[in-house]
C-alpha cells in the first residue's frame, strides 16, 4: 500500500509539474496565429537594439516607443520615426536607450522640436543611417553634430524606395496652439506639477541649461514648413501613415488621400492641448481623413514634464462613434504590434489578436 501511495504521489507531482510548465509558457506561443509565432512578435526587444527581425514576407512589426517614436521593421529593414529616447523624469523610462539603437536603416523625423529629434543625430551617426526631415530639421541635425552627408532634406511628394516598400513625405502642419494658450495652459500644468511634487528638480533643470546641448529647433517656421507626415506603402498595397503632430489638414494630405482613398493603419499624435476634450478636435479629423482599419496614437504620454499623460479612452470612444470598424490600439512601450500585410490581421504583444472585420 505504501508503494502504491508513493507511486500515486509521484504521478501527481509529475502531473502538477507538467501543468505548471504549461502555465508558465509565454502566452504568445499559445495565443498567436501561426504567422506571428516568430521571435520578433514574442519579445519586447526592439529590432534596432538587436532584437530578432521579422522573417515572413507578409510580416511587419511595429513598436511604439514613447513620445512620438515608432519602430517599423520589415525583414532586415528597420525604420525609426522620430527619436526622443533618453528622457528625464517625470517621463517614464522607455526601457531602451539611444546608444542601444544601432541596427537602423533610416531615421525619419516628423518635425524638429526637441521632443521629436533629441537623439536623432546620435542614432544616425552610430548606425550610419541617413536622417530624413524638413530643411529646418536637417539643418538642426547638422548643428547637433550629424555629418551633412547623412542629412537628407525632404520636400512634399519625395519618395524613398526600400526592399518591399516605399516612404513618401507629405507636408503636414504642426499643432497650431496660440502663444497665449501655451502660456496659460503650460503655466497651469507647471504649477500642478509643483503642487503634486512631480516637477523636475531645480538641479535637473540647471544641468540641462549648463550642458548647452542642442536638442532641436524652436524656429516658428516648424509649424507650417517643417512638419511632415510619412506614408509607408508596401509592394502589395498595404499602407501605413505616420503623423507626429495633429495640426490642421494640409493640401498635401488631402491630395494624397484623394489619390489613395484610405490607409490600412495609422499613428497620429494625440497631445498638445493637455486635456482630451480639446485634443480630440485636432486628432479626430486626421483619423477621419486617413480612414485606417487600425489606429495607434502617439505622443500621448508624459514627456519630460512638458506634457501630461493623455487618457486614450475619450479619443477611442470618439473614433468608435464615427468609425466603428476602426480598431484602436494603445500598446505599452516596445510591445510588438505584428501585422500580416496580406491578410491584414493584427497580433498585439503576447496576449490577443484583432482579426480584420468588415462590420
Q: Residue 233: which residues within 8 A CB-CB, separation 6 or more?
A: 165, 166, 167, 168, 239, 260
CB 110, CB 227: distance < 8 Å: yes
Question: What pLDDT does 29 receive?
Answer: 44
Q: Tell me the torsion sign for CA atoms 260, 266, 267, 272.
A: positive
Q: Is the peptide bond before 90 cis (omega within 30 degrees of 0)?
A: yes
Question: What pLDDT does 140 receive?
Answer: 98
Angstrom distances, CA of residue 350 to CA of 30, 69, 205, 211, 262? 9, 21, 39, 41, 29
Q: Residue 255: which residues within 8 A CB-CB, separation 6 or more?
A: none
What would the grid cell of residue 95 be? 526601457
Strand arrangement, sheet containing 159-162 = 159-162, 165-171, 228-234, 239-243, 265-269, 294-298, 327-328
What is the number of other CB atoms lying within 10 angstroms of the CB of residue 211? 9
- Tell me if residue 204 falls in helix, strand or coil: helix
Distance CA 176, CA 79 (A): 28
Question: What pLDDT does 210 receive?
Answer: 63
**First-last CA distance in the chain:** 63
Question: What pLDDT does 263 receive?
Answer: 98
Closest C-alpha among 170, 168, 171, 119 to residue 140: 119
Question: What pLDDT does 185 receive?
Answer: 86
Distance CA 159, CA 166 (A): 7
Distance CA 326, CA 159 (A): 27
Distance CA 247, CA 176 (A): 6
Closest C-alpha among 272, 256, 150 to residue 223: 272
Question: What pLDDT does 279 receive?
Answer: 94
Distance CA 252, CA 157 (A): 8
Closest C-alpha among 134, 70, 77 to residue 267: 70
- Tell me if residue 219 falls in helix, strand or coil: coil
**Which domains are assigned to the chain?**
27-354 (3.60.15.10)
Q: Position of cell 526622443?
A: 84
Reading the chain (359 residues) residue by residue, the pLDDT tens digits are 444 344 344 434 434 434 333 333 334 444 689 999 999 999 999 999 999 999 999 999 999 999 999 999 999 999 999 999 998 877 889 999 999 999 999 999 999 999 999 999 999 999 999 999 999 999 999 999 999 999 999 999 999 999 999 999 999 999 988 888 888 988 888 888 889 888 877 776 676 666 667 799 999 999 999 999 999 999 999 999 999 999 999 999 999 999 999 999 999 999 988 889 989 999 999 999 999 999 999 999 998 778 889 999 999 999 999 999 999 999 999 999 999 999 999 999 864 444 544 43
**Exposed e or buried b for every residue in 295-312, given b needs 16+ CB within 10 A?**
bbbbbbbbbbbbbbebeb
Q: What is the CB-side half-sphere exposure of residue 345 using CA atoms within 13 A?
A: 12
Question: What pLDDT does 120 receive?
Answer: 98
Question: What pLDDT does 11 receive?
Answer: 36
Distance CA 152, CA 121 (A): 12
Distance CA 219, CA 208 (A): 20
Question: What pLDDT does 21 receive?
Answer: 37
What would the grid cell of residue 134 be? 524638413
pTM: 0.88
Amino acid at each position: 500500500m505504501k508503494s502504491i501511495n508513493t507511486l500515486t504521489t509521484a504521478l501527481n507531482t509529475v502531473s502538477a509539474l507538467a501543468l505548471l510548465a504549461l502555465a508558465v509558457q509565454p502566452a504568445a506561443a499559445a495565443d498567436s496565429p501561426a504567422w506571428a509565432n516568430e521571435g520578433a512578435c514574442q519579445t519586447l526587444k526592439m529590432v534596432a537594439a538587436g532584437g530578432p527581425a521579422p522573417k515572413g514576407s507578409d510580416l511587419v512589426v511595429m513598436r511604439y516607443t514613447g513620445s512620438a517614436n515608432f519602430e517599423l521593421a520589415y525583414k532586415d529593414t528597420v525604420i525609426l520615426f522620430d527619436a526622443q529616447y533618453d528622457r528625464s523624469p517625470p517621463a517614464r523610462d522607455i526601457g531602451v536607450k539611444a546608444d542601444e539603437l544601432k541596427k537602423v536603416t533610416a531615421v525619419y523625423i516628423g518635425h524638429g522640436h526637441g521632443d521629436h529629434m533629441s537623439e536623432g543625430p546620435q542614432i544616425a551617426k552610430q548606425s550610419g543611417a541617413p536622417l530624413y526631415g524638413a530643411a529646418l530639421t536637417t539643418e538642426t541635425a547638422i548643428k547637433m553634430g550629424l555629418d551633412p552627408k547623412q542629412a537628407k532634406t525632404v520636400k512634399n511628394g519625395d519618395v524613398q524606395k526600400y526592399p518591399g516598400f516605399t516612404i513618401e513625405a507629405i507636408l503636414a502642419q504642426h499643432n497650431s496652439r496660440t502663444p497665449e494658450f501655451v502660456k496659460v495652459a503650460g503655466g497651469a500644468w507647471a504649477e500642478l506639477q509643483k503642487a503634486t511634487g512631480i516637477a523636475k528638480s531645480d538641479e535637473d533643470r540647471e544641468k540641462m541649461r549648463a550642458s548647452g546641448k542642442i536638442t532641436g529647433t524652436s524656429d516658428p517656421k516648424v509649424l507650417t514648413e517643417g512638419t511632415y507626415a510619412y506614408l509607408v506603402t508596401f509592394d502589395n498595397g498595404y499602407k501605413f501613415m505616420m503623423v507626429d503632430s495633429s495640426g490642421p489638414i494640409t493640401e498635401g494630405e488631402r491630395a494624397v488621400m484623394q489619390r489613395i482613398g484610405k490607409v490600412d493603419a495609422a499613428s497620429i499624435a494625440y497631445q498638445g492641448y493637455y486635456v482630451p476634450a480639446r485634443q480630440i478636435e485636432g486628432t479626430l479629423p486626421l483619423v477621419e481623413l486617413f480612414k485606417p482599419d487600425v489606429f495607434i496614437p502617439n505622443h500621448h504620454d508624459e514627456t519630460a514634464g512638458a506634457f501630461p499623460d493623455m487618457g486614450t479612452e475619450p479619443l477611442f470612444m470618439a473614433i468608435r462613434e464615427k468609425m466603428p470598424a476602426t480598431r484602436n490600439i494603445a500598446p505599452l512601450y516596445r510591445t510588438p504590434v505584428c501585422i500580416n500585410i496580406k491578410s491584414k490581421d493584427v497580433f498585439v504583444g503576447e496576449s490577443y489578436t484583432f482579426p480584420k472585420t468588415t462590420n
